[in-house]
Amino acid sequence: MPIQSWQEMSDSQPIVSKMLKNHVKKQRVSHAYLFQGDVGTDKEGLAILLAKSIFCNHLNQHEPCQQCKECRRIDSGNHPDLHWIVPDGASIKKDQILHLQKEFTYTGMESNQKVYVIVDAEKMTDNAANRLLKFLEEPTRQTTAILLTENLYSILTTIRSRCQIMSLQPLNPDHLQQNLMEQGLTEANAKLIAQFTQSTQEALEKSNDAWFAQARKLVVQLTEMLLYHPKEVQLFVHTHWMPHFKERRQLQEGLDLLLIWLKDIVNFHVDYREAIIFIQHQERIEKASMQWSLQTVTMAIEFVMEAKRKIEQNVHPQLVMEQLTLQISR
């Protein structure tokens, strides 16, 4: 369920919500915003809420009505004056920004107001970023840019300087975990899923995701193979791991699960048991800590982090996994 009101957003992001509400109420919406926050902080939901507050015909002080034609069009993704730019493959390209600029030379379909949202703005190519910079340097009063990013410092300094930066605070995993348990999840499931999202709705969806359930099993199986059957690991990667983690995004999530498992072994070594996430596998984690020294596990974590960087750099996934498992099983 998308965020419906600034009051609802205030529960998780009180500072940012208060600032944006004041901008709407005083009709001082900036020409450019940069929303920075971790996965799960619902930057897109915040962008939609701000867009509704700009376009809604029946604002109640600062709250969009959610019922008018403008609000419904935004919900359906069909508002003619709200434009979304998302990565085309691995990046946002110059042609996408040029097309956006061309669209903005036309008068708004419903009013003179136009809004554009750039998702994963850190993935703009240098040419795209420089083109956007020229766009931001010549703002019109009726245009609002909303850039979304997980990594503020991957955005050009010159672009950052032309935006109002809104930093979304990370949500408390313990709070989310408790909330999920109240929704019926087991402690083990709630503890793990809270590591992957800060949204209750996304977490509930993930708890019912058969793909994610199988991913967890494969991570446990991979660690068992690395520990006890290292000569068979490459075959396991080829026949079981890669067929499941087909997309780069999926492989990143699999590596995140592997990182959590390895960090659990570290926490067992240092006797920090309450921090263990895979609580239903504590016996396996204890056995693993007997096989792998603290130094070995720490090195394995570094290898996984390097593998994640290579996936981000478009190195062939199969080669990345083969190298990673060889490094860990040495």
224-251 pLDDT tens trace: 999 999 999 999 999 999 999 999 999 9
pLDDT of residue 324: 96
What are the chain's domains?
A: 6-167 (3.40.50.300), 209-329 (1.20.272)
| Backbone region of residue 66 per phi and psi (left: phi > 0; alpha: psi in -120 to 50; beta: other values) | left
pLDDT of residue 176: 81
pLDDT of residue 312: 87
pLDDT of residue 177: 87
Query: Which mean pLDDT values do the consecutive 10-residue runs of the chain (330 residues) have?
Result: 76 88 90 88 90 90 89 92 92 93 70 89 94 84 90 91 91 79 91 83 89 96 94 96 95 96 96 93 95 95 94 92 93
pLDDT of residue 220: 96
- To the question of pTM greater than 0.75 for the whole model, the response is no
Compute the half-sphere exposure of residue 126: CA atoms within 13 Å on the CB side of its CA.
0
Residue 88 Cα to chain centre, angstroms: 17
How many CB atoms are located within 10 Å of the residue 205 CB? 13
Q: What is the 3-state secondary structure (H, E, C) of 160-176?
A: HCCCEEEECCCCCHHHH
pLDDT of residue 329: 86
pLDDT of residue 250: 95
Under a CB-based contact definition with an 8 Å cutoff, are residues 47 and 35 in contact? yes
Which of 207, 217, 171 is CA-nearest to residue 186?
207
pLDDT of residue 330: 78
Sheet holding 164-167, edge to edge: 82-85, 114-118, 143-149, 32-36, 164-167
Q: What is the DSSP string of 122-153?
A: GGB-HHHHHHHHHHHHS--TTEEEEEEES-GG
pLDDT of residue 110: 61
- Position 287, amino acid: K
pLDDT of residue 301: 95
Q: What is the DSSP string of 270-325?
A: TT-GGG-S-GGGHHHHHHHHHHS-HHHHHHHHHHHHHHHHHHHTT--HHHHHHHHH
Q: How far is CA 326 from CA 11, 139, 218, 260, in A?
A: 46, 53, 17, 19
pLDDT of residue 108: 55
All residues at 6 or more sequence positions from 284 whose CB lies less than 8 Å from its CB, including other chains: 220, 223, 224, 278
